[in-house]
């Protein structure tokens, strides 16, 4: 689990940099300023939660594997896909119905962080 989350976190962080660079260099003249802000929000949350996944991998190395840590990592990955992914597609295509998916990703982010906190509070030492 530790190696898997570390690898996914690193790959997702790399992808966030690439997607951010694409937005900064290729989309700036193609989409509106409002849509560019939406896109940048997706990139920001993508990177923060990729780093969160790396944090979870490090925690697994310290505390060992657990169901809550496994769910924390899975939920952050799902959140990146749903939250950031929907913002990327929405900002490029203008399909506003995709905005209905974004909150599901936010719920995944929140649930993932709750799982990590729950694991921390349940530790004896």
The band of 28, judged by pLDDT with boundaries at 50, 70 and 90, is confident
Distance CA 110, CA 21 (A): 27
Candidates 73, 76, 79; CA nearest to 61 is 73
Residue 124: per-residue pLDDT: 85
Burial (CB count within 10 angstroms: exposed 0-12, middle 13-18, buried 19+), residue 68: middle
pLDDT at 92 over 80: yes
């Amino acid at each position: 689990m530790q190696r898997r989350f570390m690898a996914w976190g690193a790959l997702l962080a790399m992808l966030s940099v690439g997607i951010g660079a694409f937005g900064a260099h290729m989309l700036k003249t193609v989409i509106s300023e409002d849509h560019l802000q939406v896109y940048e929000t997706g990139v920001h949350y993508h990177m923060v939660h990729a780093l969160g996944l790396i944090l979870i991998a490090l925690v697994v190395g310290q505390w060992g594997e657990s169901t809550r840590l496994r769910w924390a990592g899975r939920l952050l990955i799902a959140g990146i896909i749903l939250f950031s992914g929907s913002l990327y597609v929405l900002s490029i295509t203008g399909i506003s119905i995709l905005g209905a998916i974004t909150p599901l990703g936010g719920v995944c982010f929140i649930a993932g962080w709750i799982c990590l906190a729950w694991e921390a509070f349940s530790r004896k030492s």
